[in-house]
Amino acid sequence: MPGPTLDMEPVEPQSLKKLSFKSLKRALDLFSPIHGFLAPPDPESKRIRMSHKVNVEYGGLKSTTSQPPRQVSNNKMGTQPSPSNALALPGPEGLRDPQKGEAQNALVVGPSVPKASNDVGISGKGTAIISASGSSERNFSTSAIMERIPSRWPRPVWHAPWKNYRVISGHLGWVRSIAFDPSNTWFCTGSADRTIKIWDVGSGRLKLTLTGHIEQVRGLAVSSKHTYMFSAGDDKQVKCWDLEQNKVIRSYHGHLSGVYCLALHPTIDVLLTGGRDSVCRVWDIRSKMQIHALSGHDNTVCSVFTRPTDPQVVTGSHDSTIKFWDLRYGKTMATLTHHKKSVRAMALHPKEHCFASASADNIKKFNLPKGEFLHNMLSQQKTIINAMAVNEDGVMATGGDNGSLWFWDWKSGHNFQQAQTIVQPGSLDSEAGIYAISYDMTGSRLLTCEADKTIKMWKEDDSATPETHPLNFKPPKDIRRF
């Protein structure tokens, strides 16, 4: 026969807050039997607190009581002289003279102001106390008197957001490279289907298809002085096309592996190509001769640009360095080692003497001609950045392996728009990748070459205003220097 069942009272679930209060009450019962009296005040902490209060409320050092602040009154401790100086900051013990009651070896830096009648120096803004003995003891109340300065980071210029207005399909493989005609009437694209296609800028219609490469076309450039177009590919070939006859008239032989990037010198008839053989080669366009082999990188040269003055050649590599080259002697002028990952893309500003370089860790801005590091862009795209371009208005676009297209304000490094490309119907979502980016000659159109075999055209949204798309900018607090 079972015994009588006892009705157990349900245990009330107790929150962490309630348990904390219980513990606190027990501690108070244990250590403070007389609840009517508060614990005796600590003169040292009171002095620090008062100095903080004075500085925060009045912005200077003023006496908040009628009696001189040299005396700290305490009903239990009695009256004793303050062991610190006018700022009431605790200093190292060895710096005080107990007879005189003030710091001996303290040096006051700031404007010299005559002392007031109550012996408190009214100091200017930049006052600080520096220990003459060089003691490393940290002064925790100094933050109370530090002047708060506003951020000097440049405020970004408002830019209208960009929108995709046309998708051009026609290639049968990834679109890997793009170049614009200097007259801005047509542009050419190179693809993994081994062809180069020429398109009309205004309508986006196909004008011409050129075949000749036997591997994907990774680099393109159009000459502004001749009727020539240059192409480079994974088949180690660099070709010069005559656009009056639409055929190859020269080939430049010498690369030992695939050619990944190509650039034309703006003032002299020189072609630069970089590739998997870790060398940037300099070619004479007319004679097909190799002028220099700029060797020094430890890995693939995947980005290159040229400029009229030294450094005339700048290369970025998978070895995570950027090198400046002296074109006259074929030697390295400088090596920038700021990046931690491959420098797959670089963009020279069309007006300013500076350039940006993109890596998976950060997008960085450098000065020219010396190569001084300016700053990082204020956000991280968190993907491999394959391409970047900047126009005269200071809008920089960067395209990532995951199909992200981010727009940046050049001056401040603020990321004002994060677009995501949409793959064409029939493609996998994993084919959202951007391999090449270029503005047209006016800087008003942006073209992206993508892994879904399309070319997408972007333009600014005309209907956008600073009211409809406000600038959401917060100046950086702790800017990373590298």
DSSP string, 102-134: EESSEEEES------TTS-----TT-EEEETT-
Range of lowest pLDDT (54-68, 390-404, 440-454):
54-68
Q: Which residue has the higher pLDDT, 441 or 34?
A: 441
CA distance 295 to 324: 12
Which band of pLDDT confidence, cut at 50, 70 and 90, is reported for residue 141?
Answer: low
Q: Buried b vs exposed e over 339-368: b needs ≥16 C-beta within 10 Å?
A: beebbbbbbbbeeeebbbbbbbbbbbbbeb
CA distance 298 to 204: 40
Residue 121 has a pLDDT of 38
DSSP label at residue 470: -
Q: pLDDT digit string (tens) for 158-211? A: 999 999 999 999 999 999 999 999 999 999 999 999 999 999 999 999 999 999
The 10 Å Cβ neighbour count of residue 49 is 15
Which band of pLDDT confidence, cut at 50, 70 and 90, is reported for residue 6?
Answer: low
Residue 4 has a pLDDT of 53
CA distance 148 to 359: 35
Q: Is the pLDDT assigned to residue 140 strictly greater than 90?
A: no
Mean pLDDT for the stretch of residues 432-460: 96
**Which residues pair with residue 354 across a beta bridge?**
367
Q: pLDDT digit string (tens) for 70-83? A: 444 444 444 444 44
Q: Buried b vs exposed e over 265-291: b needs ≥16 C-beta within 10 Å?
A: beeeebbbbbbbbbbbbbbebeeeebe
CB 73 within 8 A of CB 82: no
Residue 53 has a pLDDT of 61
In the chain, what is the straight-line distance between the N-terminal and C-terminal CA atoms, in Å? 81
Residue 80 has a pLDDT of 46
Q: Is the pLDDT assigned to residue 92 strictly greater than 70?
A: no
Q: pLDDT digit string (tens) for 385-403? A: 999 999 999 999 999 999 9
Q: pLDDT digit string (tens) for 196-205? A: 999 999 999 9
CA distance 329 to 333: 10
Residue 44 has a pLDDT of 84
- Residue found under tokens 């970089």: 274
